[in-house]
Amino acid sequence: MLVLYSNPLSSPANKIRFLLHYLAIPYELKIVNIAAGEQQQSDFLKINPYGKIPAIDDNGFRLAESNAILRYLADKHHSNLYPKNLEERAIVEQWLDFAANHISTATAKVMFNTYFYRLKGATKDERSLQDGRLWLDNYLPMLEKQLAKQAYIAGNNLTIADFSLLAALDAVELININLTPYPYLKAWRQNLMAESFYQDCHSSYAAAFKAAVGTMLDEATN
């Protein structure tokens, strides 16, 4: 059976869970305790030598990088979430890259410098925090423009780019990003979050985050 190495607080890992549930692919979930450094232990480094989750072991075939895993699983299961047509597929690639390079990177900068730096005993980087917020101010309007003219980010059909973007935006409540100025983006997100593939993973990222690290953050702050 497919094994997914994951953690409830990892958005790149959660996007794989969204896809697995959407496609009803059976899998075994192995939680990697990042706070305890399990991703750097020899057992996990055999799965992903550079020590990051998500990673999969599909009956001996091992793969890391969340977008590569999305493509592999969608293709393997002959899903139209990853179109075969060259141009349609290229548009999906475009929005996968956009979500990774402009949205996920930005939310990660803000999340790290709002919460995770305290848990890691690191120093808050104000410049990185402001960069992350500025990127979101710049790039969320582009998502809004797309979703004002079509139902999904890469066209009128759901694709793996939507799963990637949904995960990239999962922490918006925690970092106080107000989506009210982006009504189409907000509605797209709310609709997908109401679907069972999402609810199977968590009711919301904010709830999962608070359940997992709420008290640790209080302790780190005091």
Residue 52 interacting with ligand GSH (CB under 6 A): yes
Per-residue tokens: 129: 């925090």
Q: What is the largest CA-CA distance in the chain?
A: 55
107/182 with CB nearer ligand GSH = 107
Select from 49-57, 112-120, 192-200, 212-220 the region that touches ligand GSH (CB under 6 A).
49-57
Nearest to 189 by CA among 210, 207, 167: 167
Select from 50-58, 126-134, 165-173, 195-203 the region that touches ligand GSH (CB under 6 A).
50-58
Residue 39 interacting with ligand GSH (CB under 6 A): yes
Residue 62 main-chain phi, psi, to 5 deg: -110, 135
**Smallest gap, in angstroms, from Cβ of residue 113 to ligand GSH?**
15
Select from 21-29, 45-53, 79-87, 149-157 the region that touches ligand GSH (CB under 6 A).
45-53
Specify the long-range contacts of residues 205-213, CB closer than 8 Å, at least 24 apart: 205/11, 205/14, 205/170, 205/171, 205/173, 205/174, 206/171, 206/173, 206/174, 208/8, 208/9, 209/9, 209/115, 209/171, 209/174, 212/8, 212/9, 213/9, 213/115, 213/119
Residue 65 interacting with ligand GSH (CB under 6 A): yes
Residues in contact with ligand GSH, total (CB under 6 A)? 10
**Smallest gap, in angstroms, from Cβ of residue 123 to ligand GSH?**
17
**Smallest gap, in angstroms, from Cβ of residue 54 to ligand GSH?**
6
Let me know how long the chain is.
Answer: 222
Give the residues lining the site for ligand GSH (CB under 6 A). 10, 12, 34, 39, 51-54, 65-66
